[in-house]
């Protein structure tokens, strides 16, 4: 697979490549600029050539590959009746909190957070409680367990939306951290909705642990969401999976979606199975490519962008750039106007994201290098003024 090959995405209805003006390099929304694995493209071609696209039944073989994969990759035992399909993880966790909370209950999440976490509680009629993570001197983040527990107690929190691996910080929470989170949630009867969409893009030195795999008790208190979308670059197809091991929570989840949210579309299911079954060789190469991009950024951001700090992501293709020491009041606006680079603005990830931008490095190295050099040029002109 040639990950250096640039494919024109502007003509492909890509939101990433059509949101900003044509001269802007987009490094915002989280899909990559890599063609999906050949096995996915072939499976879609084959299914399209059949020519009839009636209502789809989820194939047993798709359940089987998910079950095999969870066992092989994470030593997690999952069975068919515990699996449900949803057309997106955002849909999944919004349904999950509606399934487990009553009007007026509170939902907690850790910030900085993927922006749809911030809006999910209120759109369901619940209160929103954010637990700020603690930033270390090197830019990496730790969980503030004391305030997490205090906020749960003080606000009568009923659900916790966990993001692991974490977007935007790139943290992969370790066993001890997950155990501590799970234990606090169990003690205070808080259901865990675990968004694990990034679980397969984890760098070599780190290991993803599904929180539900910690123990039977934790699995009975958790709804987990996974998807092939980030891993194999098929986010636009909307195939996602809910794994719910408590019969009671499974029933509540089904009730919350009934008549409102159906399964992913036919082609999404085809692509998901092909990717899970045959995409892992491609995935290994993709992670190797992303590792080079990540390491290049970690080495060059401090050198080329004075005042910008970036911790080494342990997972994801997202860099969380702390621009507060540059003195820029709005770095997203600055880099858009002066360097023509389109980022996600940090404040969308919570108030502790002000002064940050999120950089998507899931692109060709040539595009990444050019973007950082343009940012560097823009910063040096500002300094000279």
The three-state secondary structure class of 321 is strand
Q: Contact region for ligand PLP (CB under 6 A) — 73-81, 86-94, 248-256, 362-370?
A: 86-94
Count, in order, helices (H) and strands (E) of the chain: 13, 15
Identify which of residues 25 and 167 has a Cβ nearer to ligand PLP in the complex.
167
Least distance in Å: CB of 167 to ligand PLP?
4
Of the candidate residues 40, 89, 211, 378, the single one contacting ligand PLP (CB under 6 A): 89
Q: How many residues bind ligand PLP (CB under 6 A)?
A: 13
Contact set for ligand PLP, span 146-165 (CB under 6 A): 163
C-alpha to C-alpha distance for 134 and 322, rounded to whole angstroms: 14
Of the candidate residues 37, 88, 121, 210, the single one contacting ligand PLP (CB under 6 A): 88
Contact set for ligand PLP, span 38-77 (CB under 6 A): none
User: Using CB atoms, what's the residue nearest to ligand PLP?
Assistant: 88
Least distance in Å: CB of 91 to ligand PLP?
6
- Is residue 229 near ligand PLP by the rule CB under 6 A? yes
Is 193 in contact with 225 (CB distance < 8 Å)?
A: yes
Closest of 119, 99, 180, 106 to residue 146, by C-alpha: 180
Q: What is the DSSP letter of 65?
A: H
Of the candidate residues 197, 223, 249, 368, the single one contacting ligand PLP (CB under 6 A): 197
Burial state string for 13-43 with b = 16 or more CB within 10 A and e = fewer than 16: ebebbeebeeebbbbbebbbbbebbebbeeb
- Is residue 114 near ligand PLP by the rule CB under 6 A? yes
- Is residue 213 near ligand PLP by the rule CB under 6 A? no
- Is residue 344 near ligand PLP by the rule CB under 6 A? no
Structure tokens at 231: 């891993």
- Is residue 231 near ligand PLP by the rule CB under 6 A? no
Identify which of residues 201 and 339 has a Cβ nearer to ligand PLP in the complex.
201
Identify which of residues 117 and 289 has a Cβ nearer to ligand PLP in the complex.
117
- Is residue 240 near ligand PLP by the rule CB under 6 A? yes
Closest of 19, 26, 101, 130 to residue 357, by C-alpha: 26
By CB atoms closer than 10 A (0-12, 13-18, 19+), residue 381 is exposed
Q: Contact region for ligand PLP (CB under 6 A) — 82-90, 122-130, 142-150, 276-284?
A: 82-90
- Cα separation values, 314 from 112, 198, 294, 364, Å: 16, 11, 10, 20
Identify which of residues 89 and 359 has a Cβ nearer to ligand PLP in the complex.
89
Least distance in Å: CB of 166 to ligand PLP?
8
C-alpha to C-alpha distance for 99 and 102, rounded to whole angstroms: 8
- Is residue 293 near ligand PLP by the rule CB under 6 A? no
Q: Contact region for ligand PLP (CB under 6 A) — 45-53, 83-91, 104-112, 280-288?
A: 83-91
Identify which of residues 110 and 213 has a Cβ nearer to ligand PLP in the complex.
110
- 127: which strand partners? 106
The three-state secondary structure class of 230 is coil
Q: What residues contact residue 209 under an 8 Å CB cut-off, 6+ apart?
A: 74, 173, 174, 175, 178
Rounded to a whole number of angstroms, the CA Rg of the chain reads 21
Least distance in Å: CB of 79 to ligand PLP?
23
- Is residue 185 near ligand PLP by the rule CB under 6 A? no
Q: Contact region for ligand PLP (CB under 6 A) — 88-96, 139-147, 175-183, 260-268?
A: 88-96
> x/- contact string, 117-146, with ligand PLP (CB under 6 A)?
------------------------------
The three-state secondary structure class of 217 is helix
State the residue for tokens 């808080």. Answer: 190
Structure tokens at 291: 């590792």
Q: Contact region for ligand PLP (CB under 6 A) — 55-63, 227-235, 246-254, 328-336?
A: 227-235
- Cα separation values, 71 from 64, 125, 210, 221, 382, Å: 11, 37, 11, 20, 53
Residues in contact with ligand PLP by CB under 6 A are 30, 88-90, 114, 163, 167, 195, 197, 227, 229, 235, 240
């Amino acid at each position: 697979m040639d990950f250096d090959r640039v494919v024109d995405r502007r003509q492909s209805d890509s939101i990433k490549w059509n949101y900003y003006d044509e001269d802007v390099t987009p490094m915002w929304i989280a899909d990559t600029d890599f063609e999906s694995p050949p096995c996915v493209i072939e499976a879609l071609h084959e299914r399209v050539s059949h020519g009839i696209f009636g209502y789809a039944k989820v194939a047993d073989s798709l359940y089987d590959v998910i079950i095999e994969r969870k066992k092989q990759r994470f030593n997690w035992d999952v069975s068919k009746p515990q699996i449900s399909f949803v057309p997106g993880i955002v849909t999944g966790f919004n349904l999950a909190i509606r399934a487990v909370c009553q009007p007026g209950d509170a939902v907690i999440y850790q910030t900085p957070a993927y922006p749809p976490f911030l809006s999910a509680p209120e759109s369901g009629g619940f209160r929103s409680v954010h637990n700020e993570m603690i930033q270390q001197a090197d830019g990496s983040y730790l969980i503030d367990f004391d305030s997490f527990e205090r906020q749960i107690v003080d606000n009568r929190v009923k659900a916790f939306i966990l993001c692991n691996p974490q977007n935007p910080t790139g943290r992969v929470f370790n066993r001890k951290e997950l155990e501590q989170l799970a234990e606090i949630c169990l003690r205070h009867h808080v259901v865990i909705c675990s968004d694990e969409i990034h679980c397969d893009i984890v760098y070599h030195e780190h290991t993803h642990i599904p929180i539900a795999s910690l123990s039977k008790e934790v699995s009975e208190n958790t709804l987990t969401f996974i998807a092939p979308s980030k891993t194999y670059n098929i986010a636009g197809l909307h195939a996602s999976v809910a794994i719910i091991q408590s019969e009671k929570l499974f029933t509540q989840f089904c009730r919350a979606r009934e008549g409102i949210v159906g399964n992913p579309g036919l082609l999404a299911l085809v692509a998901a199975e092909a990717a899970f079954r045959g995409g892992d060789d491609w995935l290994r190469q993709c992670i190797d490519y992303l590792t080079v991009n990540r390491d290049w950024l970690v080495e060059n951001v401090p050198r080329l962008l004075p005042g910008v700090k970036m911790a080494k992501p342990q997972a994801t293709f997202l860099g969380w750039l702390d621009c507060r020491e540059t003195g820029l009041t709005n770095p997203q606006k600055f880099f858009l106007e002066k360097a023509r680079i389109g980022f996600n603005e940090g404040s969308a990830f919570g108030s502790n994201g002000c002064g940050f931008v999120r950089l998507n490095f899931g692109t060709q190295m040539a595009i990444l290098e050019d973007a950082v050099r343009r940012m560097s040029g823009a910063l040096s002109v500002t300094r000279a003024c």
